[in-house]
Amino acid sequence: MTSYTEKVAPDTKTFKEEILKLKKEKNAVILAHNYQIGEVQDIADFIGDSLELARKASNLDADVIVFCGVDFMAETAAILSPEKTVLLPAADANCPMAEMITAGELRVLKERFPDAAVVCYVNTSAEVKAESYICCTSSNAVKIVESLDEDQIIFVPDKNLGSYVARFTDKQIMPWEGFCFVHDRITPEDVINARKLHPDAEVLVHPECRAEVVDLADHVYSTSGMIKHVCESGNKEFIIGTEVGIIHRMNKDCPDKSCYPLSPNAICITMKRTDLHKVLRSLETLTPEMTVPKDVADKARLAIRRMLDIK
Ligand code: 13P
Ligand code: SF4
């Protein structure tokens, strides 16, 4: 029998109907990050930032989680719910920043600074999480660092998020030299030009942006923090300094507001590798499945749980 996904180019509506049907049959839940393409966001049961998605993944009544995002997000879900089948529909949806530090490199750093606490951004591999005391995301990084007793903090892998956190704490932050290519390429000139084009707009940027871009912004938020701000603000216009996929959700959630990308080049190509066809194929075949070896998952879970315990 020909599988549904082998048929020639069914339309979006047909894809959606098949996905909904299979989702029910397999008792699956679809989670999507705010950067996913519009069609994928539209079929998701829950859309969010990294922290919201991790919390959701830890607390779901389902047999299957279809994670429309990148590898470290699906890994985190698999670590938190080892009894569930976690699918990453685009097997090659990796996060280049997460690959900028290895567990071996972190071990060397820990040996050099034995009194420092290790905070890892959730954008890391399971092996790096397993070597860390606690995780953080862009929405809770300052709170997580402030919750620790140690004065020295090894902060991996994002140097920009590390330097943002350093603005709000007296602790010594020792950032790794990693970065997100999507946010790090946004320049102060981009902000100046966008303000010229939209003089009444507020500028919101993500803390993965460079310090000199953060300096020029009106507000700094995680992706869901930006959406909340846009919806609740009395202002009408916003310049959005993060990955462009977020504009879809802003237009949907707050249609009375105008949101302009700070840089049209802020595109995370790996976030765009998931589409409806891959989601459908993934539900049909229950592949590609994300698994994490038990010894690594057991250690990494401690770091993730410590983060989730801090409200
Ligand atoms: P948040 O959605 O947690 O702000 O993170 C952005 C990001 O880069 C995810 O890869
Ligand atoms: Fe990684 Fe940056 Fe893409 Fe987020 S936007 S998945 S941090 S490369």
Query: What pLDDT sits at residue 197?
Result: 98
Look at residues 138, 162, 181 and tell me which one is the last residue of a structural domain.
181
Whose Cα sits closest to atom 5 in ligand 2?
Answer: 268
Say if residue 84 is in the same domain as residue 141. no
Spacing, Cα 148 to ligand 1 middle (Å): 23
Instruction: Provide the pLDDT for residue 229.
Output: 98
- Do 174 and 131 lie in a common domain? yes
CATH number for the domain spanning 154: value is 3.40.50.10800
- Of all protein residues, the one whose alpha carbon is nearest to atom 3 of ligand 2 is 268
Residue 28 lies in a domain: yes
C-beta of residue 5 within 8 angstroms of C-beta of residue 281: yes
Residue pair 106/131 in contact (Cβ under 8 Å)? The answer is: yes
Cβ(34) – ligand 1 distance below 6 Å: yes
For the chain, list residues with pLDDT below 50.
1-2, 4-7
Judge if the beta carbon of residue 137 lies within 6 A of ligand 1.
yes
Measured in Å, residue 12 CA sits from the centre of ligand 2 at 27
pLDDT digit string, tens, across residues 14-59: 999 999 999 999 999 999 999 999 999 999 999 999 999 999 999 9
CB contact set of 18 (below 8 Å; sequence gap of 6+): 4, 10, 280
Domain count of the fold of the chain: 3
Q: State which ligand 1 atom lies nearest to the alpha carbon of 51.
A: 3
The two structure tokens encoding residue 307:
């983060």
Helix (H) or strand (E) holding 306: helix 294-309
Q: Is the CB of residue 259 less than 8 Å from the CB of residue 251?
A: yes
Q: Is residue 33 part of a domain?
A: yes
Range of the domain at 29: 4-94+271-292
What pLDDT score was predicted for residue 6? 47
The predicted pLDDT at position 1 comes to 43
Residue 222 in contact with ligand 1 by CB distance below 6 A: yes
State the pLDDT at residue 9.
58
Tell whether 303 is covered by a domain.
no
Helix (H) or strand (E) holding 228: helix 223-232
Residue 172 counted as domain residue: yes
- Indicate the top mutation candidate among 49, 101, 123, 139 to test ligand 2's pocket, ranked by most ligand atoms within 8 A of CB: 123
Whether 100 lines ligand 2, by a CB cut-off of 6 Å, is no
CB count within 10 Å of CB 187 equals: 16
Distances (CA, A) of 194 to 44, 135, 265: 32, 34, 13
Q: Is residue 240 part of a domain?
A: yes
Q: Which ligand is nearest to the CA of 47?
A: 1
Looking at residue 11, what is its pLDDT? 77
Residue 130 sits in the same domain as residue 145: yes
Write down the pLDDT at residue 12: 83
Same domain, 79 and 105: no
Strands 219-220 vs 258-261: parallel, antiparallel or unpaired: unpaired
